[in-house]
Chains A and B, each alone.
Chain A
């Protein structure tokens, strides 16, 4: 799935850096900047909240990065391996995410 499709609060892992082929945005320098900010293949990320205009704030470790919708669509992710999702997609439940306190 793409980062745009990932549920808010779900821990996911980047499959690869932003896909910059066939001339769609983001251009290669943008993909490089994403990598410099920690959005590299294998990085654990989480959609923190959706923002006005269709983008989102993404948590990469302690970093918070605002991304526009174009970027969210260009980044492929998969669910983090730790809580293996049972059939029915329980991984989108807030259970493992509750760390408030």
Chain B
């Protein structure tokens, strides 16, 4: 029985027994992912390859000529001499002991020379290959005519011309079906440079043949004397000359004209800032009413309806009702409020990437971000992080190198999201009525400093392999994004987010609810009927507050707020509203409590509290998204780093603050 379509990360890379495995390889911007989407339809998943933070797509490709194959969309690569973990994964999966039954090499007709470097490398492996030629229509318009027959002879593999936008892929399917019934191909023997005594009759793996494993090939390609690499370049040049004909001279395209402005000094950065501003506004101001609407729906009608149903069946007041309403429904509600925000983010990301603008943004920001040791594209997630960290972490996928994605994912939590702002404003106004604005501003500056410091710290400790490479970036022509592909990509990613984040978010909200209704050890109160100060929550907060004595806010209301703040910063203020007796003036109570806990330095304690709040873990939704992006282990490293930095900085701030006159 065929497996139902799945959307879990865990399923990426797993294939039912007996189904042929076909991989798509191609250089970035070659039309590979568009082809992948056209071939797989709805039954696909995008997620990290197991054990890596490199994203691959996987799905089923069904066609009458071969039934069904498992199709893997390997990360885009320019060659099998990898320069990033993403390219290394492609090389590694191609090397994998014969588990690929066939490879479709996607070659872009407009940029044939570049595509053929990768094609030649793949053809030097003993694997069945079919070459899919994309963008032939664009090439024809630019005066490039390609002779498929010559190309096929030179490559020793079938060449199929296709236009994925027209969705006719039957020719490719027939070629793949034909390849699958043949034995693995004899590796391509280069005519120049490489010593080879091969003939077409050689058995696969003969000693005189070119390397037949990707590992051996990569080793020879990265060899210092460059003999193999040069031989490939010579072969590519000769092949391009033999297989292409210029029908008319190329003219300056409108992409060139646009780029003169979009990447120019002054104008380029201004356009970039305008685009970032638009992204920020769309992910904050525009998403906010949708989020508030969903939130109101869950806290209002749905909660009431659930309460009414539970009352009708006689469970209106019990613990179960509390669990369903304040645990489950509140948790699901919180999860769903992220949906409009994430949908907007995914659409924006797809638009920026598919249109070709993202590559230009990388050019414009390269120098500035290079000083921070980050590539230019990291600007986008970091900006979005000031709105909300959750979509920001999903935005790190615009970075083509897994190490950059990891580094940026770990830095995003230090960007001060808008949920933190509500706490800053309340606390700053309570403790610094004269200069609340300055305090809030200083926190935002600190947030930027934390990103820079965190980056330096990570690059000198855990992520050391990351040198700053000078910019070499292939710029795809601008194009109008296809609405159908945009919708499909957004839906696939949204589904993936819900699948990964739902469990963590709902479970954590339910646990926090449980802490509030279970009485503390030694309390006389009954289950579900506990005053706030006697709950397990208060007991835990009191226990943890010992840790914060050197930071001046060892006080259970403050520490308790940090516990719920771990779940969501939106819950900090409401936790105070619930734990202080009704009728208390909240600012006065905070000043009095922190005054007592800090030995008479409430302002220093308040600043230390705010610094801790800024630097520690933003919320469980961020963690859930991080786990999806960089895996559980790195997420845990990130949490440890955030807590350590937050605690050290809070202690430092309080100690310096109390030492000052």
* Residues on A facing B (Cβ under 8 Å): 25-30, 32-38, 40, 48-55, 57, 59, 61-68, 70-71, 99-101
Contact = CB atoms under 8 A, between A and B. Distances in A.
A68 B471 contact: yes
B473 interface: yes
Given A51-B264, A57-B263, A99 B472 contact: no
B78 A52 contact: no
A66 B250 contact: no
A100 B251 contact: yes
A6 to B, nearest CB: 17
Contacts of A57: 259, 263, 363, 475
Contacts of B259: 48-49, 57, 64
A62 B142 contact: yes
Interface in B231-266: 233, 249-252, 255-256, 259-260, 263-266
Contact of B229 (A32, A63, A70): A32
Contacts of B368: 53
A38 B113 CA distance: 7
Contacts of B255: 64
For the complex of A and B, 5 pairs with smallest distance between CB atoms: A53-B367, A68-B471, A70-B470, A51-B263, A52-B268
A71 to B, nearest CB: 5
B364 A38 contact: no
21 contacts: A27-B467, A29-B81, A30-B83, A32-B221, A37-B114, A48-B260, A51-B364, A52-B264, A52-B363, A53-B363, A54-B367, A55-B363, A55-B471, A63-B114, A65-B473, A66-B363, A67-B470, A68-B470, A70-B470, A99-B250, A100-B252
B13 interface: no
B574 interface: no
B83 A67 contact: no
Interface residues of B, number: 47
Contacts of A63: 111, 113-114, 474
Contact of B471 (A40, A50, A71): A71
Q: Which of B265, B269, B363, B477 has the most CB of A within 10 A?
A: B363
A61 B83 contact: no
Interface in B356-396: 359, 362-364, 366-368
Contacts of B622: none
Contacts of A54: 367
A28 B470 contact: no
Chain B CB within 10 A, most for which of A27, A29, A54, A61:
A61
A53 B78 contact: no
A51 B472 contact: no
Given A53-B364, A62-B142, A35 B229 contact: yes
A32 B81 contact: yes
A37 B233 CA distance: 10
A52 B472 contact: no
Contacts of A49: 256, 259-260, 263-264
B182 interface: no
A66 B263 contact: yes
A31 B113 CA distance: 17
Contacts of B364: 51-53
Contacts of B221: 32
B472 A34 contact: yes
Given A51-B363, A67-B471, 6 more contacts: A32-B79, A34-B472, A65-B472, A66-B472, A66-B474, A100-B251
B144 interface: yes
Nearest to A40: B233
B588 interface: no
Contact of B222 (A25, A32, A34, A64): A32
Contacts, number: 131
B263 A52 contact: yes
Contacts of A30: 83, 469-470, 472
B78 A37 contact: yes
Interface in B264-313: 264-266, 268-269
B224 interface: yes
Interface of B: 78-79, 81, 83, 110-111, 113-114, 117, 142, 144, 221-222, 224, 226, 229, 233, 249-252, 255-256, 259-260, 263-266, 268-269, 359, 362-364, 366-368, 467, 469-475, 477
A51 B265 contact: yes
Contact of A71 (B110, B263, B472, B477): B472
B464 to A, nearest CB: 16
A50 B267 CA distance: 12
B474 A37 contact: yes
B111 A62 contact: yes
Contacts of A68: 366-367, 470-472
Contacts of A67: 470-473
A63 B78 CA distance: 13
B366 A53 contact: yes
A31 B232 CA distance: 15
B8 to A, nearest CB: 35
B576 to A, nearest CB: 47
Contacts of A27: 467, 469
B265 A66 contact: no
Contacts of A50: 264-265
B472 A28 contact: no
B266 A52 contact: yes
A68 to B, nearest CB: 4
A26 B470 contact: yes
A28 B78 contact: no
A65 B252 CA distance: 15
B55 to A, nearest CB: 21
B251 A101 contact: yes
A38 B367 CA distance: 24
A80 to B, nearest CB: 15
A28 B252 contact: no
A46 B83 CA distance: 26
B83 A29 contact: yes
Contacts of B222: 29, 32
A14 to B, nearest CB: 12
Contacts of B113: 38, 61, 63
A33 B78 contact: yes
Interface centre among A35, A49, A52 (most CB of B within 10 A): A52
Contacts of A28: 224
A67 B469 CA distance: 11
B110 to A, nearest CB: 5
A75 B249 CA distance: 26
A64 B221 CA distance: 24
Contact of B114 (A36, A53, A55): A36
B572 to A, nearest CB: 41
A65 B474 contact: yes
Nearest to A28: B224
In this complex, the member of B142, B471, B472 whose beta carbon has the largest number of chain A beta carbons within 10 angstroms is B472
A33 B266 contact: no
Contact of B256 (A29, A33, A53, A64): A64
Contacts of B233: 35, 40
